Structure 1
Amino acid sequence: MMMQKWFPWRYVVTRLARSHGFLDPLTLYARLQRFAQPSEVSEPVELLRAGAVFHARGLLNSRVLQHNLDWVWPYWVERQFNPADVSFVPRAFSLTHINLTHRNWTAVGLPGRKALPIIDPRGLLTPFWDSWSIDVWCIDENGQTLLPCRVTGADQWQVMDEEHTVMTRTDDNGMQLETGCRMVAGEHGDRIRLTARCSMDNAGWLVVALRPANPEGVSFIEHVQFDEPTRTWTVNDENTVVFDQAPDEHHASRYHEGDVFVHLRDRIQADSCRCPVGLVTAAASFKVASSTSRSISLDIPVKPAPPERRPVSPRTPWPTQAWVTALEQQAQLELPDARLKSLYDAAVRTLVLCTPDDCHAGPFTYKRYWYRDAVFIGHGLLSAGLIDRARHLINRFPERQSHSGYYHSQEGEWDANGEVLWLADRFSQMTGELPDSQLWSSLSKAAEWIQRKRLPDYGGQPHEGLLPAGFSAEHLGPNDHYYWDNYWALAGLHSAARLAAVLGKEELAEHHEEQAMLFSAAIERSLQKLSHTDGRLAIPAAPTRRLDAGAIGSVVVAYPLQLCAPDDERLLGTLEYLLKNCFHEDGFFQDMIHSGVNAYLTLHVAQALLRSGDERFAALLNEVAHIASPAGHWPEAVHPNTGGGCMGDGHHAWAAAEWISMLRNCFVREESESLILASGILPQWLDAGTELSLGMVPTLFGDSRIVILPANAGDSGREVKWEARWHGKAPTLEVRLYGHEPVVIHEAGDSGSVICTRIAG
């Protein structure tokens, strides 16, 4: 330790760098730090580590892909490296080659399982996390090919039944191919099943190809062995692929021999191949007679998941389940728009898949834990009625809490404590359940951490009394005193006070509420010091920031926290700024980091507009539906030109959670002491002439089901019905159906209905 302290490391590093003609890294780092507010954590080490791994893959891609473009690569490579395609990205000064244009994939699986195979937009199956993949091709006797990754158009959809299958259909050159991927449970363990059916005009081959790549790029295959008696591939001496029938031919190739694709007509076959580079390719070919079809299937056994590195949770693990059991509590949605309903059902399944026991932000790139994502996923589970799953998620929050009370998933992100407190409180209000002693002890420590973490309420700085500068949500910009963090922390203190009160800890409740008032006053002082050069009141990302795309974080004051009135002048100014300056075709375009249209942040603005009675929310809702993938989900951000994902996980759980919450709030939402019904029902839904409904769905006042009946010919009104299980006295109900006079019911029973009169003209 003394040597580390006294040895002139800075001098040595600087001298060594300059002697070899490099920039001084310490000087460069110091310069970079000047763009951010001083902070105790420059960037979370967890994200630095993930970024290093991510770009290491990109560096590997740069060494392999562009030098072997005669190979058959995943869909994103075939498009992004094609100069004639809208997805083309020049590579001249790019040290790493990353999927920036088609970050789309769909996870399949079974509830309670950690294994989440993914399927890309053309049916490429990646069975394990960051593994090799399986592709399916068709080749006729004349050399014509159907390579799905090179076909411009394809149909892809989810079959949301007990097996939850992703289907992909392509056709080209007189050949048609349909594949299906799903996970099946069995007596001897779970298996990933791929089925394929090929039909063709001329005789040819259905080819199952083993590929050393996935939707992120290269993934090594060092060895493959085909065992003819058992019809089995053994890949990397670890995983097996079992065919339901013996192939007619089998070929394999190592890197320096080229892709197996160019060896499919070789007379000499190979059952085994080992490659020191790690780029083995293999193909099992099945004959197809002319004007006929052939079907095959294969199973990939799933090995038990390794034990978690963290201490085992003292809570009872979430059980493995069948889909019908996992979805028993789901609030059923009925809409005339089949696409929107399908997106809702798919989003619910996404949340189930991403909460097998712990919580993942996505099945691939983000298959790790963030408190922020976990809270929004938990909120989505509540909005869908999946109470038991939400409870389990919340009860595991204490496991990553530090001794100081900080909920630590990424260092330097100060929003987590407030988020956890808010969700725990919301769960308690929606269910009537109180936190047990273990959870309450954790929540109480979290509230105290917020109070200690605040800066002093003096000094004359714009950020006095706020939280220290931090990294926050990475899409807001460099380290700063973000209002996003501070609004969450403020809401967390209000929630801690409310929970303490219902637990009978009145003195503690008064303490937390007093601290919340002091915090609120500090935020207000900060806002009053803002300069508005255009004369518009608005809330930037942080006290010393100009208005920019980072102001999206400040919308949290309205949704979901409701810390301001729906018509608050600063809120409305912020929304107007964002809508005017930061939207691309009705979708919020995040300039920072994401550089794409963000579905979940678009829905944050839509929720704030809905709450303020602004009909523009509908255009945003429809745009989010429009940018969803054909399989029915969203990447973290969408490329404005390709329509494919350009950032983050290609199957993003937070986006799914926000879609559920958006549709729930269209039917029923809370505002102060009232329950607002039908305020987000779109006119085209009403015009369809069918029954609309949602429920039972939990609210702060109890469970409720909302039904909007179709109008009869000649009727001037529309009947809205409700059924409820209130926690206590029924709340005031306000029915705000589009195009109809609002109706207020002060003494609503457990069930009832009202006729909403159509507004003349």
Structure 2
Amino acid sequence: MWLKRFVWKYIVRRIAHSHGFLDPIALLGQLRKFAPSSEVSEPIELLRAGAVFHARGLVNRSAIQHNLDWVWPFWVERQFNPLSSSFLPRGFSITHVNLTHRNWTAVGIPDCHAFPIVDPRGLITPLWDSWSLDGWIIPEEGEALLPSRLTEMSQELVYESGSLVVKTISRRAHLTFLSEVFVELLDGQPVCHIQYQLETDRPAWFVIALRPYNPEGISFIHNAALENDRRGWTINREPVVQFRQPVEHHLLSTYQHGDVFRKLRDKEEVLSGHCDVGLVTAAAMYALTPDQTTEIGVDVPLKEDAEATSALATGGTLQAWPDALGSAARLEIPDRGFQHLYDTAVRTLILLSPDWTYPGPYTYKRFWYRDAAFLVNGLLCANLLDRAERVVNRFPERQNLMGYFHSQEGEWDTNGEALWTFYRLWELSGKFPQPDWLRVVEKGAEWIVRKRLSDDLDAWHAGLFPPGFSAEHLGNIDYYYWDNFWNVAGLQAAAALLNQLGGDGQGQKFEQEATTLMQAIERSLTRSQEVRDAEGFPASPYRRMDAGAVGSIVAGYPLELLPPDDPRLLGTVQFLLENCFVHGAFFQDMIHSGMNAYLSLQLAQILLRAGDPRFFELVRGVADLATPTGQWPEAIHPHTKGGCMGDGQHAWAAAEWIVMMRNLFVREEGNRLIVGAGIVSEWLEAEQPLHFGPTPTRFGKITLDIEPRSPTSVQVKWQAQWHRESAPPVDVVVPGYDPVYNAASSGEYTEVTLSRNSD
């Protein structure tokens, strides 16, 4: 084997040198020196996704910059415009990808894997990673209304008539059109409906434009044709678009002849065409009458993923939106912006959990245990228990024979996350753990025990987990504390579950293993202190304090492995606040290179636990970063405020917003419930009742009402269904009012009146 490798290395080096290239073997060897050696250099899943991403970027590079007279999607119109703040020079860029406006909003129905997305200017991509549909108004005289070139327009996501609807309004002079996009189930088939309302003061044409691209870039169209009845398009030899009104005039163009936009004055129709390059464009045109409202409709039947096991895919019963939302915890606060973001976040989590959970509808439409832990926690806090349980019950499907919960190679945090999520479901639901979890939990915990390194190593990482890629945004491969904190929590969760399930003493064993791993972490932190010049938890023992330290605060939230006032935990937050914040939000320097809503909210949770009022500044900052449709991309460009990395609709951020709103009203701290700690004075000064619930806690479900009774008093009421006969200790600590500790809770209903303090 060594000889074979030697020969291949020799051949590669000779070929590289003969063509004047650097020695790739030496270069790769040098790159590996930036990180400790690992059994998995980089997850194959990430390499595959990156290869696809940049392959499209290569196509974009060839297609876009030479054809800027085409009508391109909003991100291209901004990013390639030298007069725009979104402009990026392209001189040494091998690939051209969307780094400034990665924003989109999905529509759909519960329990279905099909998620049409709409970009910030109304471009509709009805099928996953497909071509798109755009709408233009072309007046006989004057400039055209092209939404992707508008600097301002209006867009919102609304819930009406039992559907999620993205509404986009585009205007230019006296030209206006409204598009409404939603999904409906018709005869068992999900259909994306697009409804246009057009107004003009002069003769004009409305164009439904078929575009060979989407928010990521080029998506090939080799063939397109208008069907014989003029009521549909066949695209790439499949009938996929249906027009509710017959097309009045039709044009088509290929790459060689340029964008169909340049041919819209042509009188002679072109009904079909083929393009070897894959850049067919087409225009379905309708005449508009001045001073009249014209309505035009388009339908696109949707498809489930081939591997989908949702209710729709398996012929089961789907929940309509009203039913799916029926049990959700209800939030009522005077801040309409926060209220809208909460309601939208709940719908996002329902939409993106048809059976598995997806962190996003497009770029991240795949499963990770890491994201699932946070998404399931959001579902639980929103009282969507059945949906959360359905997701968790599928966790064992991805556990291999060795006990590893596999969503991506080389991730050493996943077992801890999976086990913690099992425990969190049991803890909040109050249901007895399912017996078939026993072997799954045992195997998962045993894998953790086997995987960690020896305590006897003469190194700062003794007893920790091997180096890995971990949470991806923390930096190069390393011995991440993130992995280790998660696995402490996983072992604790396994111990608690097995103690309930009767695991033949395994519970006690894993309790001890959790203690041993925590001791290894503490020992590592002590030994590596000389590397750091600030108090806190670095990303790994071999790192100074940097933005990657944000991963280590997981010990405080959501895992609660450390008390709220742990000085190292608070020191980490203080370091990040002072060094890693831009425009009021956490800026992740590594990989993301953008502001992160979900990481900012995790920092806010640490401050909330510690009673630090600065938490609300972070919450407000995150709210200000939301898009008009109430979404957050994974990472946000500090200047354009558009997405710069990841999915344009990030479900993890939505989950964190739900948990944040819930914890403002009620959260657990050890064996106590803390009520009202995040209620801010501006809400009480509005003199409106506040409400949240029902939401499950580890003690049972609770519904809270907080109502100002006078300028100097506030009444806090709760109804509860406790898991046990006796109520837990409840501390009512609304800021600005005298706290009530160990509030008497004689049963299911309790009232407490607080008086304003004199501070």
Q: TM-score range by the shorter chain?
A: over 0.9
Counterpart of 2:730 in structure 1 is 733
Quick check: 1:138–1:147 contact (8 Å CA) kept in 2?
yes
Quick check: 1:145–1:173 contact (8 Å CA) kept in 2?
no
Alignment of 1:28-177 (within 5 A): 28-161=27-160, 162-177=162-177
Alignment of 1:617-696 (within 5 A): 617-696=615-694
Counterpart of 1:608 in structure 2 is 606
One-letter amino acid of the structure 2 residue matched with residue 745 of structure 1: N
Alignment of 1:199-278 (within 5 A): 199-229=199-229, 231-278=231-278
Change (3 A) 1:640 1:239: farther
Counterpart of 1:438 in structure 2 is 436
Q: Deviations over 1:718-745 (max 9, x none)?
A: 0010000000121110111121111113
**Larger displacement relative to structure 2 (498-507 or 195-204):** 498-507
CA RMSD of aligned residues (A): 1.7
One-letter amino acid of the structure 2 residue matched with residue 13 of structure 1: V
Question: What 5-or-longer segments of structure 1 have no aligned partner?
Answer: none
Counterpart of 2:384 in structure 1 is 386
One-letter amino acid of the structure 2 residue matched with residue 167 of structure 1: K
For the residues of structure 1 that align with 2:201 and 2:530, how far apart are their CA atoms? 69
Counterpart of 2:740 in structure 1 is 743
SS in 1 for 2:658: helix
**Larger displacement relative to structure 2 (362-371 or 740-749):** 740-749
Counterpart of 1:554 in structure 2 is 552
For the residues of structure 2 that align with 1:453 and 1:485, how far apart are their CA atoms? 11
For the residues of structure 1 that align with 2:137 and 2:533, how far apart are their CA atoms? 63
One-letter amino acid of the structure 2 residue matched with residue 140 of structure 1: P
One-letter amino acid of the structure 2 residue matched with residue 224 of structure 1: A
Quick check: 1:667–1:680 contact (8 Å CA) kept in 2?
yes
SS in 2 for 1:361: coil
Quick check: 1:112–1:318 contact (8 Å CA) kept in 2?
no
SS in 1 for 2:737: coil
TM-score, normalised to structure 2, is 0.97
Change (3 A) 1:459 1:645: same
Deviation at 1:188, TM superposition (A): 5.2
Deviation at 1:12, TM superposition (A): 1.1
One-letter amino acid of the structure 2 residue matched with residue 222 of structure 1: H
Deviation at 1:533, TM superposition (A): 6.8
**Larger displacement relative to structure 2 (76-85 or 160-169):** 160-169
One-letter amino acid of the structure 2 residue matched with residue 517 of structure 1: T
Deviation at 1:535, TM superposition (A): 5.4
Deviation at 1:228, TM superposition (A): 4.3
SS in 2 for 1:265: coil
SS in 2 for 1:710: strand
Change (3 A) 1:300 1:534: closer
SS in 2 for 1:164: strand
Q: Deviations over 1:75-103 (max 9, x none)?
A: 00000000000000000000000100000
Q: Is 1:544 equivalent to 2:542 in the alignment?
A: yes
For the residues of structure 2 that align with 1:106 and 1:613, how far apart are their CA atoms? 35
Q: Deviations over 1:216-267 (max 9, x none)?
A: 0011111111124251111111242111112221111111111011101001
Quick check: 2:677–2:734 contact (8 Å CA) kept in 1?
yes
For the residues of structure 2 that align with 1:188 and 1:732, how far apart are their CA atoms? 50
Alignment of 1:300-449 (within 5 A): 300-307=300-307, 319-449=317-447
SS in 2 for 1:567: coil
For the residues of structure 1 that align with 2:403 and 2:303, how far apart are their CA atoms? 37
Counterpart of 2:453 in structure 1 is 455
Quick check: 1:141–1:203 contact (8 Å CA) kept in 2?
yes
Counterpart of 1:523 in structure 2 is 521
One-letter amino acid of the structure 1 residue matched with residue 426 of structure 2: S
Deviation at 1:392, TM superposition (A): 0.7
For the residues of structure 1 that align with 2:14 and 2:582, how far apart are their CA atoms? 48
**Larger displacement relative to structure 2 (692-701 or 737-746):** 737-746
**Larger displacement relative to structure 2 (352-361 or 627-636):** 352-361
Change (3 A) 1:66 1:421: same
Question: What 5-or-longer segments of structure 2 have no aligned partner?
Answer: none
For the residues of structure 2 that align with 1:3 and 1:239, how far apart are their CA atoms? 54
SS in 2 for 1:382: helix
Change (3 A) 1:364 1:736: same
One-letter amino acid of the structure 1 residue matched with residue 71 of structure 2: V
Quick check: 1:731–1:747 contact (8 Å CA) kept in 2?
no
Quick check: 2:253–2:280 contact (8 Å CA) kept in 1?
yes
Deviation at 1:506, TM superposition (A): 5.9
One-letter amino acid of the structure 1 residue matched with residue 255 of structure 2: Y
Deviation at 1:440, TM superposition (A): 2.5
For the residues of structure 2 that align with 1:318 and 1:516, how far apart are their CA atoms? 41
For the residues of structure 2 that align with 1:511 and 1:379, how far apart are their CA atoms? 27
Change (3 A) 1:644 1:456: same
**Larger displacement relative to structure 2 (331-340 or 636-645):** 331-340
For the residues of structure 2 that align with 1:37 and 1:273, how far apart are their CA atoms? 55
Quick check: 2:113–2:310 contact (8 Å CA) kept in 1?
no
Counterpart of 1:497 in structure 2 is 495
